[in-house]
Amino acid sequence: MKSKLNLDPALIQQARASAEAIAQEVQGFIDDHTTVTVERTIARLMGIDGIDEVDQPLPNVVVNHIREGGGLETGVAYWLGNAMVATGKSPQEIAEGVSDGSLNLLETPAQNRSEVEAVVGRAAGDMVTRIRRNRQIREQMLTELGEGPKPYLYLIVASGNIYEDVVQAQAAVRQGADIIAVIRSTAQSLLDYVPYGPTTEGFGGTYATQENFRIMRKALDETGEQVGRYIRLCNYCSGLCMPEIAAMGAIERLDVMLNDALYGILFRDINMQRTLVDQFFSRVINGFAGIIINTGEDNYLTTADAVEEAHTVVASQFINEQFALKAGLPEEQMALGHAFEMDPDIPNGFLLELAQAQMAREIFPKAPLKYMPPTKFMTGNIFKGHIQDAMFNLASIWTHQGIQLLGMLTEANHTPHLHDRALAIENAKYIFNNCRDIGEEVEFKEGGMIQRRAQHVLADAVALLAQIESDGLYKTIEEGKFGGVKRSRTGGKGLKGVFRKGAGYMNPFIALMLGGER
């Protein structure tokens, strides 16, 4: 891609080299550690599901049982496999035995290691085959039905009731939406378990559960057949259950997942060590399943100034790219985040936004960038808000963004109504249609404001990445260089759920998903 901004390729290469070094340093810690969430994810992928008599998920029951017995460093896969060889039971039957007290995994006599590895490998292989099949189904449906043009029109539903969400989602699809995101209930990211079954009560959203995924997937497939295009389903695998929700999404054929450890660290105060380990496994799963991940750099601009701190967004995008590559997730599945969040009273603010959006496109040419709408400076004036959203839509089509979360003219007033969403879609379609090829027709002035702004932000991002490479990512977060939010390496929620892997540790899914057929 020829740079319209005259960005220095050497600077971009330097930024990537620093980001790779930053990610590699953290990867060493990730490779040596596991978490309670990673182990619960392995249990789910081996076939454990359901709840006990007090609604505690069986993956939690099994992992807590092993943890309390002091065996979690060996990994849940080993203990399940050992019991499978010893008893001839399935992982689900073993979990039920642990739940009712009839089976103690740590007191089960040790079996032949090769036999344990074999039964674990077969169970893991069955699930990997199922997830691979889901990916093939998606690809087949895309071939048969087709899809909307990029930028994909991305709309949210957030009623708290999955059945009401279905009604709203289907209406949005008929109006033109390409991606439906089911917003999670407020603070679900802080739950250290995944709720079970369909849910009809939530606060600010609907709980992410496997049954809710299944219900919405079925509804969108039905409506997609009616409108003649494949509809993508999005949810959130962030927070304390990041890889578990990624696994459930892979099992139920979700297409997009919000998946960013830095978001949880900064805005939910989740321990950075815990969530970076969790993020790696979640991205391995998403990469293998063909799920696009959305990253959360746009959130920095809700707590920091979009003009002064624009370089932190770019630096984080470089780091997220490298973390994703290490998890086997290709660039085509990295919806790196950014946002249209500059103060509309700034002179030439649109030109600065255009520079930022074009820069992201040029630096990450294969990524389906996720572009977020104005929220911070929406006032409740719906007429001005609709114009702000129109400017946002213009910047998006001009710079070839990949995923467009549509702005709502009623932002700052209330949760959008169906007609608010309809107006948002109408706005975007009008601008996208009338300006479809503006990016190919208009060039930027040599040495002009847009080029100078992009070059300045890139240079600042390179300098920040070099500093992070020197200091380390943990110290950088502790100093509040992302979003102006400071977090402690040994603070935050979930630290006690991190464990160093012991001798004989087993996670069959890493090898199968990173080394298997994509």
Q: Phi/psi of residue 238, each to 5°? A: -125, 175
Pairwise CA distance, residues 159 & 451, whole Å: 43
CA–CA distances in Å: residue 270 to residues 23, 241, 488, 494, 496: 19, 11, 10, 6, 11
Q: Is the pLDDT of residue 204 over 60?
A: yes
Confidence of residue 516 (pLDDT cuts 50, 70, 90): very low
pLDDT bucket at 518, cuts 50 / 70 / 90: very low
Query: 338 forms bridges with which residues in the sheet?
Result: 371
Kindly tell me the burial class for residue 245, based on how many C-beta atoms sit within 10 Å of its own C-beta (0-12, 13-18, 19 or more): buried
Q: Is 145 exposed, middle or buried (0-12, 13-18, 19+ CB in 10 A)?
A: middle
3-class DSSP string for 350-376: HHHHHHHHHHHHHHCCCCCCEEECCCC
Q: What is the biggest distance separating any 2 CA atoms in the chain, rounded to whole angstroms?
A: 75
Give the residue-averaged pLDDT of 284-311.
93
pLDDT tier for residue 81 given thresholds of 50, 70 and 90: very high
User: Per-residue pLDDT tens for 145-199?
Assistant: 999 999 999 999 999 999 999 999 999 999 999 999 999 998 899 999 999 999 9
pLDDT(487) > 70: yes
What proportion of the chain, given as a percentage, has pLDDT over 70?
A: 99
Q: Is the pLDDT of residue 517 over 60?
A: no
CB atoms within 10 A of CB 446: 7
Write the DSSP symbol of residue 35: E
Distances (CA, A) of 460 to 32, 132, 367, 456: 33, 41, 22, 6
The residues annotated as belonging to the active site are 263, 298, 370
CA distances from 349 to 336, 343, 378, 481 (A): 22, 7, 15, 23
Angle formed at CA 214 by CA 176 and CA 177, multiple of 5 degrees: 10
The pLDDT, as a whole number, for residue 325 is 97
Helix (H) or strand (E) segment spanning residue 3: none
pLDDT at residue 6 is higher than 90: yes
Given the structure tokens 């990253």, which residue do they identify? Answer: 295
pLDDT bin (cut points 50, 70, 90) of residue 418 is confident
Answer whether residue 125 shows pLDDT above 80: yes
pLDDT tens string 438-481: 999 999 999 999 999 999 999 999 999 999 999 999 999 999 98
Mean of pLDDT values over 134-139: 98
Would you say the pTM of this structure is higher than 0.75?
A: yes
Q: What band does 55 get if pLDDT is binned at 50, 70 and 90?
A: very high
What pLDDT, on a 0 to 100 scale, did the predictor assign at position 151? Answer: 97
Per-residue pLDDT of 349-406, as tens digits, reads: 999 999 999 999 999 999 999 999 999 999 999 999 999 999 999 999 999 999 999 9
**What is each CA distance from 204 to 26, 65, 157, 161, 424, in whole angstroms?**
34, 33, 10, 10, 20
